[in-house]
A = this chain, B = another copy of it.
Amino acid sequence: MENSELRRDPITGRWAIILMDEKIDFDKLLSSKSHRERSNEVKACQFCEGREDQTPSEIFALRHPNTEPNAPGWQVRVIPDKRPVLQIRGDIDNRAVGIYDVLNGIGAHELLIEHPQHFVNIPDFPLEQMKGVLSTMQNRIVELKKDPRFRYIIVHKNYGEASGTTLEHAYSHIIALPVTPGRVKNELMAAKEYYSFKQRCIFCDVVRQELEQKERIVAEDGNFLAFTPFASRRPFEVWMLPEKHETFFEQNSNQGALASMLITVMGKIRQMLKNPDYIITLHSGPNINVSRRRGYWKTLKSDFHWHLEVVPLLRSYTSFELGSGFPINSVPPEIAARVLREESF
């Protein structure tokens, strides 16, 4: 007989079943095929330094002085995806098909190569490398937001086959969209509604409570908080966000502290969870160059708070979760935080 709780996500109102049985079978949880041994084979791929001719021309790069575009000598490099799911050229054509709505597939799909070498991932990055990755994300978001066709810029990283990539080289996606992705929109709407009731940011309220309760903190440095959300969907889900209110990731000026925390937290995940596959998604404010015109987001700067969502993929989704949108999480976030803090549990 399992002991369980139903917990409500304070932001979107989505409930999760949290199995509270403290005898967690970590061996089983960490034995799935989503865990990878780091190969010792010296490999190279199209993303490696020296193979710039195998990729499309770079859109942006952090480079050593006196190096040429599309040649070695870079620290971080952004290229267009070879097979984008959305096209960069064309106007937005919004049409109705009876009661249905269609837009043509306009958008941008860029790949951010995070390191010149193969097999080097976030926990191995020197601080300056991680800062370079974050400042490049900011740079691309600022540029893409100048295009009034793009309502939302989403940045996400996938690591390992369970996340849908077969590439081993560290990279992220930057995708600009003419509409807001469903999960982000749910958060934006809910944060707006909370603000209209309470005149407070829901994320700031969560930060306050997490800092007080201390039960779900993974790392904390006075600038950024990494914690396991109260109604975590998945085992060892971790959110990272600035402790002071900030709406847009690209306006963050404390990239050193964020870079340091990312290296620390992703290192703990690699060490304690045996190098699992994972995804990281940035949820930041939408493009107000588009949105402001609509007058819809008038409280946005007060109500929304950017954050990174890290989700290790330790097991498959169950049919119940897929069909109902009701997560079942076998590791209470309080225990997940203790494991990641390397305390006994």
Contacts and interface: CB of A to CB of B under 8 A. Distances in A.
Interface stretch (A43-51, A61-69, A120-128, A179-187): A179-187
Contacts of A17: 85-86, 105
A326 B105 contact: no
A323 B183 contact: yes
Contacts of A97: 230
A319 interface: yes
- Chain A interface secondary structure, helix, strand, loop or mixed? mixed
A4 interface: yes
Nearest to A324: B181
24 contacts: A1-B87, A2-B84, A2-B105, A3-B105, A6-B102, A7-B101, A7-B102, A15-B181, A99-B202, A156-B319, A156-B323, A157-B319, A158-B320, A162-B316, A164-B317, A164-B320, A164-B321, A181-B324, A183-B323, A183-B325, A184-B324, A279-B319, A280-B323, A311-B323
Given A7-B102, A164-B316, A186-B325, 16 more contacts: A1-B84, A5-B105, A6-B178, A8-B100, A17-B86, A97-B230, A98-B213, A100-B231, A154-B323, A154-B326, A156-B319, A156-B320, A156-B323, A164-B318, A279-B322, A281-B323
Interface of A: 1-8, 10, 12-15, 17, 19-20, 83-87, 97-105, 154, 156-158, 162-165, 173, 175, 177-179, 181-186, 202, 205-206, 209, 212-213, 230-231, 279-281, 309, 311, 316-326, 328
